[in-house]
Amino acid sequence: MPTYSALTTLPGEAPAQALAAAMERMTPEPIGVGVFEIEDDSGLWEVGGYFLEAPDAVMLEVLAMAFGAKAFALSEIPEIDWVAKVRRELAPVEAGRFFVFGSHDADKVPAGADRVPLQIEATVAFGTGHHGTTLGCLKAFDRLLTEGWRPAKVADIGCGTAVLAMAAAATLPDALVIASDIDRVAVDVAVANVAINALQGRVECLEAAGLDHRRIKAAGPYDLVFANILKGPLIELAPGISAQLATGGRAILSGLLAVQAEAVTAAYVDAGLCIESRDDIGEWSTLVLQKV
């Protein structure tokens, strides 16, 4: 069965949220409505609705005019087995000592005590290692390990598949490792991946918005915080991440475009951290900052 999407953009979060609320009351009713800031400093927000029946084009036109949005772009989305598609198209990824793979590539795992295989199944959660942001975080972490650094407490904020948390748990057998995500589905995926990699009891998976969970707060301060999310949340979390880092602790940040790196760096410098390194993979940046 096909589904249908209706997407538009407009300036400002408040009008975007109001438009989304109005879309929720449409007939036929959407199965989901999302509101996202476009991360290009334009000030525009995207509002998208998804429907099991073709949406009322006239009503969408009226809503766009009423809220000052661009005309909706309507599309029919064909039924696709996305998990099967991802499995076919994603090859294993190597990031220093880390080898990230799906079960369909288990025969390609390299031998050697110096290699750390991490099995990640194709799911709806973000973070397979193929994206420049996750890859950048793994490479930055591998570099710090090679330099001899061994953090004792690690938090992976916005963990997605938990690949970064698992990389820490697999290489730091005595470390406390917490992985959190605002999305319950992502947390369930993280728990499943932890089990697949025989890391039960080594990674604690929590549903939390940023650092807002009493377990995350109680377990700090941390020697390492991963945050592979987006520019806006990264900037908002800067004071909290700084407060939860121990002196000498490091934050490995990504999910940001290269053109956004300076703004994110400035927010963390203002919060008391110093930039150690910046690495760009394609259009994406990874930052390593230290609390001094």
pLDDT digits (tens, 9 = 90+) for 12-53: 999 999 999 999 999 999 988 888 888 777 889 999 999 989
DSSP type of residue 211: T
Answer positive or negative: Cα dihedral of 119, 123, 124, 128: positive
pLDDT (average), residues 238-255: 97
**Dist. CA 261–CA 285, nearest whole Å:** 7
The answer on 140 and 206 residing in a single domain is yes
Query: To 10 degrees, what angle do helices 261-270 and 231-244 make?
Result: 30
* Domain presence at residue 101: no
Q: Do 244 and 220 contact (CB within 8 A), yes or no? A: yes
The answer on 150 and 18 residing in a single domain is no
The answer on 273 and 143 residing in a single domain is yes
CATH number of the domain to which 13 belongs: 3.30.70
pLDDT band at 11 (very low <50, low <70, confident <90, very high): very high
Residue 272 region by backbone torsions, left for phi larger than 0, else alpha for psi between -120 and 50, else beta: left
Reduced to 3 states (helix: H, G, I; strand: E, B; else coil), residue 258 is helix
Identify the CA nearest to 186 among candidates 168, 170, 163, 169. Answer: 163
Last residue of a domain, one of 41, 57, 77: 77
Beta bridge partners of 33: 49
Q: Do 212 and 241 contact (CB within 8 A), yes or no? A: no
* Domain presence at residue 100: no
* Domain presence at residue 247: yes
pLDDT at 32 (0 to 100): 85
Beta bridge partners of 14: none
The answer on 134 and 67 residing in a single domain is no
The answer on 160 and 48 residing in a single domain is no
pLDDT at 85 (0 to 100): 57
Domain that holds residue 276: 126-291
The answer on 147 and 71 residing in a single domain is no
**Dist. CA 83–CA 51, nearest whole Å:** 21
The answer on 158 and 64 residing in a single domain is no
* Domain presence at residue 103: no
Quick check: 80 pLDDT over 80? no
The answer on 169 and 278 residing in a single domain is yes
Strands of 98-101's sheet, edge to edge? Answer: 93-95, 98-101, 116-119
The answer on 73 and 130 residing in a single domain is no
**Dist. CA 267–CA 286, nearest whole Å:** 15
Beta bridge partners of 35: 47
Helix (H) or strand (E) holding 251: strand 245-257
The answer on 265 and 136 residing in a single domain is yes
Here the tokens at position 202 are 């080594």
The answer on 65 and 151 residing in a single domain is no
Identify the CA nearest to 227 among candidates 218, 217, 214, 240. Answer: 240
Quick check: 237 pLDDT over 50? yes
What is the count of structural domains for the chain?
2
Q: Which residue has the higher pLDDT, 110 or 22?
A: 22
* Domain presence at residue 86: no
The answer on 283 and 179 residing in a single domain is yes
Last residue of a domain, one of 46, 77, 108: 77
Reduced to 3 states (helix: H, G, I; strand: E, B; else coil), residue 53 is coil
CATH number of the domain to which 133 belongs: 3.40.50.150
pLDDT band at 123 (very low <50, low <70, confident <90, very high): low
